[in-house]
Structure 1
């Protein structure tokens, strides 16, 4: 067995590999860029080697520096994680020449499956169901339109070397096809250095379901069940689970056997994933094969009891798989939520900055795979993932409930994050019923996400919690200032909780170990050990456990629970009457400006000063975390000034264009 391996990656996956290696008694070497000098994976590893500047093209993607790090440290093998060099056959060959083992598949499989056009042809020859489409390279936008008209809309344009949702566009007509070809080509060139694009029929009401395979160098190949990955936004997975609530045992076996056939056809070894699109009738079609460890591998580990990273390391060392197909049993249910540094209230734009507060949830059957820590920074140079939150239960409902509770208790401040959105998905009736497709988010949140749209399971809880939080603030004020004499001797307080302009009168009575709250004729007994200033408020309301996140915004309280964000103002009855008469402050008129909605690089300005533009016309393109974001005119206007230049690094709300 290896005694030292190097992890050619960063963030949560590097930390994840280090944990398995440590369990096996193997020493680890981390590599890091300038931006990651103080990163968690660097702290966790036994050794760490600096490999270059912050940009991944000058550090994590420079194979010569990683190989030199192996030489310098004596690492006998390299685990690539996912992304970066994980599916780079040149890297594998370079390691082989150095006598360093690659913890992953051989170059034949990487080359065959890394190109979507080649992989589709090979899959068809191996007897795997494939989607109708044009598998040769598309020459230009007009060629794309010609092909799409033959296939029939809607179509999917995909980067041949793509992955992670980059270089993918759905087109429903010729105009979208032309624009989609340009966007997909640009993203493919930027992200993968390969601008080739192909086209296939877009399956409507599809589910994205994948099969985990594991193979050794002795000809043994098995599948370890499926993962449901249908909850996606812009082709990027958001929530994954195992098993799928849709797949029956017969379909699971057919998909698994086809995945094994494909793996054998390319002489596969190590962990890999065969992805399928499944329609409403359980017909399934090959999508692609990822020749690496998947982001969502933890859900498979929890329902099979297997450590996939450990199996990868053992296979790379020449060992046979320790289990056969008949040994694979799926037990219980696992759910994974991807926690991202992005702002769901601003169309999920990426967020960067320092984690001034980071407190992940803990508990039985709760797992957090992360690469960050409190005080660390989320950088603009890499993927915005903060962590993967995974829960396990005896069945799907139990796994969902644990996930809801864990998301309520996941505390992040300093950067924007998507936890409210994740919990909104978890409490959505359609999700709970298992009626999933890859269109779920687009259909259920067509106008974007706003936490106020998420109905609370029990609105009275919000009123009650706001009332007792305010009561505790008032108790402290009485003790500190001495200006509220007699307040501490009162047996009760009458207050009005104002939420969305509606007034909710309550009475709060101090009780042993908590409070008694009277609201709308009902009595609520609340016990809590919460103290002022804490973000997490754990309490029981009529013996039911709840967890709220609480922030004070001036005189207002902001409460987070089950995907719902509520702003509450608690006033004395007389103040509440006066507050109802106050006019609302009007928002400033920003219609004369095009503001940058995110931090990023301005890669294109599509208009010039004095030009008249129409609603919907492209104004500028911003690149953030390797994704192109097109900014369009919201109304007809005339450009009076260009305030930023191509190549500028933009801040949030920075003015790009001014209109007359």
Structure 2
């Protein structure tokens, strides 16, 4: 077996590979840029080599620098992770020339399948059903518009060397095709060093289902079930699960056999993924093959018990697969939630900064559930503007889909994260959404269910009553603590009042508390009672409670007269007052937010790529005003209403912070 491998990547996937290598007794080498000097993967590895400035195109994807790190450390093999150089045939060729093993497929397979244009042609020649599209190279935006009209809108504009949602746009009109072509081209060049673009028909109401394959160099190929990846935003996966709630066994077998046939046709070895679009009649169409480990591989590992990274290393070393197809059994259900550094309340725009608090739920493996968290960050670390915004992949497993979802709900509620904008509230909201719970989902789920974006969750009456009961019991504990500290009490039960008024989310709950040594019974003014037990103490930022035998997890911050509580995607200020204080609070005026309707504010920290208007221009609703780049994604900011530009405060090349004023309107 290899004695030392280098991981040509960063973040959570580098940490993930290091864990398996350590388990196998293999020494590891990390590489890092200026921005990642103190990163978790650097601390975890046995050795680390600095390879250049923060931008990936000056460090992580510069083949010569990675090869120099290999030479310097004597690494015998390289695991590329995903993204960066993972599907770069020139990198595989350079490794082969240096007699260093590539923990991935052969160069020929990368060239044939890694390039989306070539892979579609091969699939068509092999008799695989594919989505209609134009596989040739597209010269410019005008040609892109012409081809889009020939295929018929809507179309998907994609980077040939793309992945991870980079360089992808959906166009519904000539204008969007023109804009999308240029943005896709720019993102593809920045992320992959390859700006080739192709266009295909965008299939409406599709499900995105992919098959995990594993092949060795001795002619063996197996598939390890499927993953449902339909919950996507901007063509980037947000939640994945395995197996799919939609497939039947016959379709699973057909897709798996076709995926293996395709892999075998190109001499594929290592782990790879064949992606399909599946329609409502379970007809499936080949999309592409990813010649690498997928971001969402943990859900496959959780339902099969197979360590895919270990298998990749063993295959690269020349070993035969220890598993045959008959040995692959799918056990239970697994969920993966991608935790991103993006603000759901600002249309999911990227967020950067320091993680002032990072406390994921404890990883556990039990007979009835599993909690797993793949991450590459730590409390106090920085989220950089230079790389992918993923913070962690939170995974749960349970015997059934419903139980896996419930385990994920609790895990999300238990995940403490402060300092940056993040999508935890949105992930929680999806877990409770009736369509997701039923499994009736398509890739249009987010666009259809959140057409105006995400503005938080409003808890229903039953959930609010549970939260109000919890808040009242917690407030009583805090009041006892205050009274003890002030020396006002000997027998605290007699000094702290029993009657309180809890206000939350615009509702009012008059309650009475009867406490004993094991908990508190909270009785509401409608006569209903709820038993609350917890070991929460004032100052704890996470409260794990039991309400009538059902768990409730709250993130807690103290505010004047109550708490800021977060649970199940909802965030609310909960005030707990005496009846007299509640009467007076009704008379207090509300503070109004400032008027920013005549300002274009920068929605994220980023770089101004271009400004499309000038002072004095009259703009129409929906017109492009400027383009801001953050985390390798270009974001076009558009006019929300008709108006006239009175002042422009930023120019191309400027770096802006959140809420910096880009331009003003009359």
Which 10-residue stretch deviates more, 16-25 or 545-554? 545-554
* Aligned match of 1:9: 9
CA distance in 1, matches of 2:602, 2:489: 47
Q: 1:542-581 counterparts in 2 under 5 A?
A: 542-581=548-587
- Decide whether aligned partners of structure 1 residues 606 and 161 sit closer, same or farther in structure 2, where only a CA change above 3 A counts: same
* Aligned match of 2:406: 401
* Aligned match of 2:630: 624
* Aligned match of 2:145: 145
For residue 288 of structure 2, give the secondary structure of its aligned residue in structure 1. Answer: strand
* Cα offsets for 1:229-288 (capped at 9, x unmatched): 001111110111111111111111111111111111211111100000000001100111
* Aligned match of 2:25: 25
- Decide whether aligned partners of structure 1 residues 415 and 491 sit closer, same or farther in structure 2, where only a CA change above 3 A counts: closer
Gaps of 5+ in 1: none
- Decide whether aligned partners of structure 1 residues 247 and 372 sit closer, same or farther in structure 2, where only a CA change above 3 A counts: same
* Aligned match of 1:387: 392
| CA-CA distance at 1:474 after TM superposition | 2.4
CA distance in 1, matches of 2:129, 2:185: 27
| CA-CA distance at 1:38 after TM superposition | 1.4
Tell me whether 1:613 sits opposite 2:613 in the alignment.
Answer: no
- Decide whether aligned partners of structure 1 residues 454 and 217 sit closer, same or farther in structure 2, where only a CA change above 3 A counts: farther
- Decide whether aligned partners of structure 1 residues 644 and 617 sit closer, same or farther in structure 2, where only a CA change above 3 A counts: same
CA distance in 2, matches of 1:442, 1:156: 16
For residue 458 of structure 1, give the secondary structure of its aligned residue in structure 2. Answer: helix
CA distance in 1, matches of 2:175, 2:51: 44
Verify the 8 A CA contact 2:84 2:192 in the aligned structure 1. no
CA distance in 2, matches of 1:152, 1:103: 41
TM-score (normalised: structure 2): 0.96
Gaps of 5+ in 2: none
Tell me whether 1:461 sits opposite 2:466 in the alignment.
Answer: yes
* Aligned match of 1:636: 642
Verify the 8 A CA contact 2:458 2:505 in the aligned structure 1. no
Match of 1:650 among 642, 646, 656: 656
For residue 452 of structure 1, give the secondary structure of its aligned residue in structure 2. Answer: coil
- Decide whether aligned partners of structure 1 residues 489 and 376 sit closer, same or farther in structure 2, where only a CA change above 3 A counts: same
Q: 1:5-404 counterparts in 2 under 5 A?
A: 5-362=5-362, 363-364=364-365, 365-404=370-409
CA distance in 2, matches of 1:255, 1:501: 51
* Aligned match of 2:529: 523
CA distance in 2, matches of 1:391, 1:456: 28
For residue 498 of structure 2, give the secondary structure of its aligned residue in structure 1. Answer: strand
TM-score (normalised: structure 1): 0.97
- Decide whether aligned partners of structure 1 residues 291 and 175 sit closer, same or farther in structure 2, where only a CA change above 3 A counts: same
* Aligned match of 2:502: 497
Tell me whether 1:425 sits opposite 2:430 in the alignment.
Answer: yes
Tell me whether 1:598 sits opposite 2:589 in the alignment.
Answer: no
CA distance in 2, matches of 1:411, 1:275: 34
CA distance in 1, matches of 2:461, 2:275: 36
CA distance in 2, matches of 1:638, 1:303: 57
| CA-CA distance at 1:421 after TM superposition | 0.9
CA distance in 1, matches of 2:514, 2:567: 24
For residue 457 of structure 2, give the secondary structure of its aligned residue in structure 1. Answer: helix
Which 10-residue stretch deviates more, 449-458 or 25-34? 449-458
Verify the 8 A CA contact 1:491 1:509 in the aligned structure 2. no
* Aligned match of 1:537: 543
CA distance in 2, matches of 1:637, 1:482: 63
CA distance in 1, matches of 2:613, 2:400: 55
| CA-CA distance at 1:640 after TM superposition | 2.0
* Cα offsets for 1:485-530 (capped at 9, x unmatched): 9975236422111223332111223321322211131122211111
